[in-house]
């Protein structure tokens, strides 16, 4: 369908561009011969003005001499030059009419995506309306927090900062997080989120202000994975590759089982390792098969001799066992976090996101200082 549309549009454009080519060359030449005729008329008019006494004989003679010179000049112009100028225009126009659609279609064929179906206009309209609604609600929340005589609750500022981050308004996000960072209850997650917003604003560059926020986050929680990752990024950007690599590996060594952030750590450590000659690292060295999903000691012993396919099936059975239990105990926050980690191990991203979102909902009932908030937030950030 799209190629048919392109063909019709190209044909219409070619016709419109080719219409001037239908004019005859003689018509162009005839119009150019009008100049001597006009000069002869002016010469006759000059004689009539002399007869009526409008001008003097000297003025008439001077004007007549000038007109005759112009008539001779026009008469001496070669016809070939006129024909050549017309032909040149016809050739350029013809080439444009042919080459423009050919080049456009060729470029789209190689660099376009004709196989991708278009998004319905109604759907795009709904998305724009939803985005506008979110923007309006965000601005209302910002005004409400700013006008609060008490400075606004920290939870509101954190929600505002996270919303701004999702919208790509990183400067506003950093300012919202900074409001909470100045308060006594600010925890490590506040500073790491502010650092992330500042880094995103600078297209991945860790600025001094961002590194100061990172250092504050690490001082409050030396195990904060987001803060450690960005600290390693800052070291790497300064050329301190070995320190960055050691920092990442040390945090991986201290991990208590698998976490989604470990994949980013491992990828960055291996990237740096290539530059400094370090051997590649694997997830198996830091996150062995999870044992907190409910298997018995006998199950674990039997799993050691399994093939990779059987081991994956074994893990899946344990995950299903945990998921079944959570249906009867939906308020088990730690259980949903373990389930999200398990799905991440299996590579089931959508199920992992659903599990962590359930955990995120339960986190609304825990204190702001609970470290599980940052764990779940970092997990969702890495999965989405």
The answer to whether the CB of 272 falls within 8 A of the CB of 288 is no
212 confidence band (pLDDT: 50, 70, 90): very high
321 confidence band (pLDDT: 50, 70, 90): confident
Question: Does one domain contain both 233 and 136?
Answer: yes
Average pLDDT score, the chain: 78
- Identify the three-state secondary structure at position 305: coil
Question: Does one domain contain both 146 and 65?
Answer: no
Residue that finishes a domain, picked among 111, 145, 166: 111
Question: Does one domain contain both 147 and 229?
Answer: yes
Percent of the chain with pLDDT over 90: 32
Distance CA 186, CA 177 (A): 9
Q: What are phi and psi of 347, to 5 degrees?
A: 80, 15
Number of domain units in the chain: 3
Residue 106, domain member (yes or no): yes
The answer to whether the CB of 345 falls within 8 A of the CB of 258 is yes
Can you give the pLDDT at residue 144? 92
Question: Does one domain contain both 135 and 178?
Answer: yes
208 confidence band (pLDDT: 50, 70, 90): very high
Closest CA to 337 of 309, 312, 371: 371
Question: Does one domain contain both 100 and 17?
Answer: yes
Distance CA 72, CA 82 (A): 17
Residue 314, domain member (yes or no): yes
Say which residues have a Cβ less than 8 Å from residue 65's Cβ, sequence separation at least 6.
none
7-11, 83-87, 320-324, 341-345: least confidently modelled range: 83-87
Distance CA 19, CA 12 (A): 11
Distance CA 152, CA 171 (A): 19
Task: Read off the pLDDT of residues 149-175 as tens digits, 9 standing for 90 and up.
Answer: 999 999 999 999 999 998 999 999 999
Residue 254, domain member (yes or no): no
Task: Read off the pLDDT of residues 11-33 as tens digits, 9 standing for 90 and up.
Answer: 776 676 666 655 554 444 444 55
Question: Does one domain contain both 143 and 47?
Answer: no
Residue 276, domain member (yes or no): no
Tell me, what DSSP letter sits at residue 278? P
Can you give the pLDDT at residue 241? 96
Task: Read off the pLDDT of residues 218-258 as tens digits, 9 standing for 90 and up.
Answer: 999 999 999 999 999 999 999 999 999 999 999 999 988 77
Residue 261, domain member (yes or no): no
Q: Pick 206 or 285 by higher pLDDT.
A: 206
Question: Does one domain contain both 144 and 211?
Answer: yes
Question: Does one domain contain both 224 and 320?
Answer: no
CB atoms within 10 A of CB 333: 18
Question: Does one domain contain both 378 and 344?
Answer: yes
The answer to whether the CB of 164 falls within 8 A of the CB of 176 is yes
Question: Does one domain contain both 165 and 233?
Answer: yes
Residue that finishes a domain, picked among 77, 111, 145: 111
Residue 32, domain member (yes or no): yes
The answer to whether the CB of 335 falls within 8 A of the CB of 355 is no
Q: What are phi and psi of 134, to 5 degrees?
A: -65, -40
Tell me, what DSSP letter sits at residue 289? S
- Identify the three-state secondary structure at position 183: coil
Question: Does one domain contain both 105 and 146?
Answer: no
Tell me how many degrees the CA angle 279-284-285 measures, rounded to the nearest 5. Answer: 55
Question: Which residue shows structure tokens 């006594």?
Answer: 184
Say which residues have a Cβ less than 8 Å from residue 280's Cβ, sequence separation at least 6.
270, 273
Task: Read off the pLDDT of residues 331-352 as tens digits, 9 standing for 90 and up.
Answer: 888 888 888 887 877 778 888 8
The two three-digit tokens of residue 8, written as one number:
């019709």
Residue 369, domain member (yes or no): yes
Question: Does one domain contain both 49 and 88?
Answer: yes
Residue 360, domain member (yes or no): yes
Residue that finishes a domain, picked among 78, 111, 144: 111
Mean of the pLDDT values across residues 260-289?
84
The answer to whether the CB of 73 falls within 8 A of the CB of 65 is no
Cβ-in-10-Å burial (0-12, 13-18, 19+) of 197 comes to buried
Question: Which CATH number does the domain housing residue 155 bear?
Answer: 1.25.40.10
Cβ-in-10-Å burial (0-12, 13-18, 19+) of 174 comes to buried
pTM over 0.85: no
Say which residues have a Cβ less than 8 Å from residue 341's Cβ, sequence separation at least 6.
257, 258, 259, 260, 290, 352, 379
Residues in the chain: 384
Long-range CB pairs of 244-252 (<8 Å, 24+ gap) are: 244/272, 245/269, 245/272, 245/273, 245/276, 245/278, 248/272, 249/281, 251/223, 251/225, 252/281, 252/285, 252/286
Residue 20 structural domain: 2-111
């Amino acid at each position: 369908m799209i190629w048919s549309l392109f063909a019709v549009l190209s044909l219409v454009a070619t016709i419109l561009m080719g219409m001037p080519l239908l004019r005859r060359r003689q018509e162009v030449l005839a119009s150019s011969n009008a100049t001597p005729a006009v000069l002869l008329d002016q010469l006759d008019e000059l004689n009539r003005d002399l007869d009526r006494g409008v001008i003097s004989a000297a003025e008439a003679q001077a004007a007549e001499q000038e007109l005759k010179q112009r008539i001779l000049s026009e008469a001496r112009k070669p016809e070939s030059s006129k024909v050549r100028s017309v032909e040149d225009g016809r050739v350029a126009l013809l080439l444009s009419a042919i080459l423009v659609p050919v080049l456009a279609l060729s470029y789209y064929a190689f660099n376009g995506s004709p196989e991708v179906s278009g998004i319905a206009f109604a759907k795009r309209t709904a998305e724009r309306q939803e985005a506008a609604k979110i923007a309006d609600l965000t601005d209302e929340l910002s005004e409400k927090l700013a006008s609060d005589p008490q400075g606004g609750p920290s939870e509101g500022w954190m929600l505002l900062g996270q919303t701004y981050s999702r919208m790509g308004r990183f400067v506003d996000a950093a300012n919202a997080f900074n409001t909470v960072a100045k308060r006594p209850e600010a925890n490590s997650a506040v500073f790491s989120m502010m650092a992330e917003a500042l880094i995103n604003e600078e297209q991945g560059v860790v600025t001094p202000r961002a590194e100061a926020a990172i250092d504050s986050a690490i001082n409050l929680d030396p195990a904060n994975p987001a803060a450690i990752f960005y600290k390693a990024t800052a070291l790497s950007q300064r050329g301190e590759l070995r320190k960055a690599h050691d920092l990442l590996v040390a945090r991986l060594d201290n991990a208590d089982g698998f976490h989604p952030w470990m994949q980013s750590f491992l990828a960055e450590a291996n990237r740096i390792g290539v530059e400094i000659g370090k051997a590649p690292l694997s997830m198996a060295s830091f996150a062995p098969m999870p044992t907190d999903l409910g298997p018995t000691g006998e199950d674990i012993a039997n799993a050691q001799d399994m093939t990779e396919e059987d081991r994956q099936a074994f893990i899946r059975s344990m995950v299903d066992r945990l998921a079944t239990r959570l249906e009867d105990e939906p308020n088990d926050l730690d259980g949903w976090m373990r389930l999200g980690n398990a799905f991440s191990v299996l590579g089931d991203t959508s199920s992992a996101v659903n599990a962590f979102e359930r955990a995120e909902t339960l986190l609304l009932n825990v204190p702001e200082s609970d470290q599980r908030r940052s764990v779940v937030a970092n997990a969702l950030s890495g999965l989405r």
